[in-house]
Copies of this chain bind each other. A is one copy, B any other.
């Protein structure tokens, strides 16, 4: 048995290396790839993906995985090994359930859809994207049928991003949050002082922005010996290996806050990747739990920590020194208020902490209905715009800033959006517990001592790999299951006065 487990781990690690090669290629594509090499890169990534898929399907060669799976379910194998086997089996089963022809059809459709979407968004032409979306939704429905589900096909899709979570639970949590957020937003808007955001605009040379972004990333705990910070069109984190995590940000010459927010967010993701146990590389025990859990790390650093008054008590002098114009004339208090300004808007990625989850709730409600066949896709713009009016109070002037704004659906990422909100909720709940366990966190932050926070996250979350499901880990760490109350309390404390 021991020998079989060893063989399985070797097979998984081998797949891990190939996957990390693909991750390196993807990073290169986001950052430094010459323009004319795009086609070549697509072919190379697809070649590697094919190799990886074959090796994955081959995990059971000689009946190895089937045998181990039997021993694990009958409790002949226990502990870490059992988890390793069951998690591997879960993913293997999912992969095996999808017929090869379907996978090829899906991948072909998606690679075309992305371009169709990009063009449609550019031209503000939802109808041009509609046929692609119809195809994708049908394929996703078929995917759910292949994979199987209990209550709704949407369950099968969530499973990919947040294993173990059901649509019913998501719905309950998001409804609860919605009930709170809609009236709360109105209250905050009424209370909020009028601080002019324009004060913070200026000319911020990229080299100097890069310096302060690196400085903050390093200070809060990103390990530059095991990672890099570069520039890409869409900020992202690519975890090649715990010893090689590549994060990116994007600089705007007239807005220094734009990159700072992205950088701190990606550092949160990056520290999760760097904190995974490298001795389990390639196996589930060396992988992050779920997208929601990942997002909890990025959002906690970005918001709970990175938008706190204490954080900027520490870093604002650095920012002022780097860019006397305009910051010498802006008080820390004003800066902090501007940074946390709540403002209903159209674009999810630029939303503040109060409205952000309303953006997600809208997408969740719509995509669940799409997958369950309850709405006609051609009505999407109307449905979208009505919800934006109702939940956030804004009028959507065109589909480019509305239903076409996100890349996700064109990439087949349905069931993904809820993980953004889950991340916010996990973050608030963890942060509450962390504050009970570490003395005077605000003081530590103010002094620029981020080590204890990183250590707590590493010990409780990062180093665990996939030892627990997200919901088990939340219970284990915080003593209760996921509860949106902590996020609500966080918002009330921060914005309600």
Residues of A bordering B, CB below 8 Å: 14, 17-18, 20-21, 24-25, 28, 32-37, 39-41, 43-44, 47-48, 51, 207, 223-228, 230, 240-241, 243-244
Contact = CB atoms under 8 A, between A and B. Distances in A.
Chain B CB within 10 A, most for which of A14, A20, A228: A20
22 contacts: A17-B43, A17-B44, A20-B40, A21-B25, A21-B44, A21-B47, A21-B48, A24-B24, A24-B28, A28-B28, A32-B230, A34-B225, A34-B226, A35-B225, A35-B226, A36-B225, A37-B243, A37-B244, A39-B243, A40-B241, A40-B243, A41-B244
B43 A244 contact: no
B244 A40 contact: yes
Given A24-B44, A35-B226, 18 more contacts: A17-B43, A17-B44, A17-B47, A20-B40, A21-B48, A24-B24, A24-B25, A33-B244, A34-B226, A34-B243, A34-B244, A35-B225, A36-B223, A36-B226, A37-B244, A40-B240, A40-B241, A51-B51
A246 to B, nearest CB: 8
Nearest to A18: B47
Contacts of A51: 51
A21 B25 CA distance: 8
Contacts of A207: 207
Nearest to A46: B17
Contacts of A230: 32
A51 B14 CA distance: 12
In the A-B complex, the 5 residue pairs with the closest CB atoms: A37-B244, A36-B243, A36-B226, A35-B225, A37-B243
A47 B22 CA distance: 13
Contact of A20 (B18, B32, B35, B44): B44
B228 A14 contact: no
Nearest to A14: B47
A30 to B, nearest CB: 13
Contacts of A17: 43-44, 47
Contacts of A227: 34
A228 B28 CA distance: 12
Nearest to A47: B17
A52 to B, nearest CB: 12
A48 B39 CA distance: 21
A163 B454 CA distance: 57
Query: Which of A14, A28, A224 is most buried by chain B, counting CB atoms within 10 A of its CB?
Result: A28
Contacts of A244: 33-34, 36-37, 40-41
Contact of A228 (B34, B228, B243): B34
Contacts of A24: 24-25, 28, 44
A16 to B, nearest CB: 10
A99 B204 CA distance: 60
Contacts of A18: 47
Contacts of A39: 243
Nearest to A40: B241
A43 B51 CA distance: 17
Contacts of A40: 20, 240-241, 243-244
Nearest to A33: B244
Contacts of A228: 32, 34
A451 to B, nearest CB: 19
A230 B31 CA distance: 13
A36 B148 CA distance: 42
A20 B42 CA distance: 12
A14 to B, nearest CB: 7
A47 B19 CA distance: 12
Contact of A240 (B21, B35, B37, B243): B37
A417 to B, nearest CB: 32
A44 B36 CA distance: 26
A468 B33 CA distance: 32
A151 to B, nearest CB: 42
A11 B185 CA distance: 61
Contacts of A28: 24, 28
A228 B36 CA distance: 11
A35 B228 CA distance: 10
